Chains A and B, each alone.
Chain A
Amino acid sequence: MSPKGKMVQGGSAAGSGLLSCHVCNLVSRKPRFSMAACCPRCGTAVHFRKPQSVQRCWALLIAGYILYVPANLLVMMETGSLISYRKDTIISGIVHLWKTGNMMIAVIVFVASVVIPLLKLISLTLLLISVQRRSRWRPKQRTRLYRMIELVGRWSMLDVYVVTLLAALVQLGSMALVKAGPAAVAFGAVVILTMFASKQFDPRLIWDPLETDFSREKAQKTL
């Protein structure tokens, strides 16, 4: 089991036939005669790369794109009182916030529920296409992009929480009416689907095309 001996300097673990465990970070050698490998320390199933990463990520991402349409076109929140009644989509809600003088909040909601989901969908598409074409273009920046998506994705849930709190609180008082609209479901689904999609994506795939370059160089040197 112990991965001693040849270690390709500057190469990937997978290139040296070594598996790294994503739970306990232990690096182990793949057992020679079995397909499935388990981490010798913690027993987690380990793979060289996340299985079917690209396909699964595409599936979730496309579902995200499809739901992004109703999330933006349908009504997110209905608000009514004795004097006024309005139905807001995500965008019109932000415009309303801006017009009523809450510019700070309007910007926060705009970033969380428009900029971040779009950025996430587009970035993941870009990453997937570049990985599928085995692109060698700026791997460091692409990895950084992936890390950024992972970091900011969660903040899109903001609008879902706001709708939940407002709908529950105002309903209870029976002084006015706030209702969550169908867009809340679609929007929540977009956020969750894209989070799953970015979890499925394996950033190590970005570096694999460079790896083959490296081993080729190495092979040429030894020849």
Chain B
Amino acid sequence: MADGPAQLIACHDCDLLQREIPLNPGCTASCPRCGAVLYRNATDSINRTLAYALAAALLFLIANLFPILTIELQGDRASITLYGSVLSLWEQQMRLVSASVFVTTIIIPAVELGAMVYLLLPLKLGFVPPGHTLFMRTLQRAQPWSMVEVLLLGVLVSLVKLTQNFKVIPGIAMWSFGLLTLLVAAMASTFSSRDVWARLDQIKQRRVAP
């Protein structure tokens, strides 16, 4: 990869053609014309992203299995999980809303975390996961629709609204969603698709010429 295609890069926001330059660790290259971030030299990108993804997957499970909020009024108690609230809305004939919540807060984050682990774990172990292009594409398509952080803000707003009328007890899932938001943000900042492709090329080349 010393010469040729790898050295040319086009800005995804303004299509300016430019040559890649080597970066110091932790630095970012941005487009001189429009200021878009072109690529980063994230330190130890694959290992760190994998670690964050695994931790996030665990928290995601906890966040979905335990209740988010519990309300109490005169000894009467009610608590709800995320899936429970989706189901309840479905039964209240708000199917479109229910489906959009289900997709953006459960399905897409699960797909995102799953794809991340599926891609990075084999890379770390030194082989190419089958169907990696499909997963890279899925990952890129899914990312804008994963809205865990928005959901967290939604939980907090609901919490404040509910305290007007009820005694509210935040559940384990709420704290997990908080941590999950941080981990997903950390994951997004260390992930570098450029490094993943470089590693894929490296492994493939090694296999062709041992």
Contacts and interface: CB of A to CB of B under 8 A. Distances in A.
B158 A165 contact: yes
Contacts of B8: 3, 7, 13, 18, 27
Interface in A185-223: 185, 188-189, 192, 195, 199, 203-204, 206-207
Contact of A184 (B68, B97, B161): B97
Given A163-B97, A180-B97, A168 B80 contact: yes
A143 B34 contact: yes
A169 B165 contact: no
A143 B5 contact: no
B126 interface: no
B84 interface: yes
Given A108-B153, A160-B100, A176-B165, A206 B147 contact: no
Given A169-B80, A192-B100, A42 B14 contact: no
A204 B150 contact: no
Given A154-B144, A165-B158, A140 B35 contact: yes
Given A27-B5, A28-B5, A140-B34, A203 B14 contact: yes
Given A24-B136, A162-B161, A172-B88, A207 B97 contact: no
A166 B158 contact: yes
A217 B103 CA distance: 50
A164 B17 contact: no
Interface in B7-25: 8-10, 12-17
B172 interface: no
B150 A188 contact: no
A62 interface: no
A161 B34 contact: no
B78 A150 contact: no
A27 B9 contact: yes
B194 A207 contact: no
Contact of A27 (B10, B68, B69, B201): B10
Interface string B71-85: 101101111100011
A175 interface: yes
Interface string B170-210: 00000000000000000000000110010001000000000
A105 interface: yes
13 contacts: A13-B15, A25-B39, A41-B197, A44-B133, A155-B153, A158-B150, A164-B98, A168-B88, A168-B89, A173-B78, A179-B92, A180-B94, A199-B144
Interface of B: 4-6, 8-10, 12-17, 33-36, 39, 68-69, 71, 73-74, 76-80, 84-89, 92, 94, 96-98, 100-101, 104-105, 133, 136-137, 140, 144-145, 147, 150-151, 153-155, 157-158, 160-162, 164-166, 193-194, 197, 201
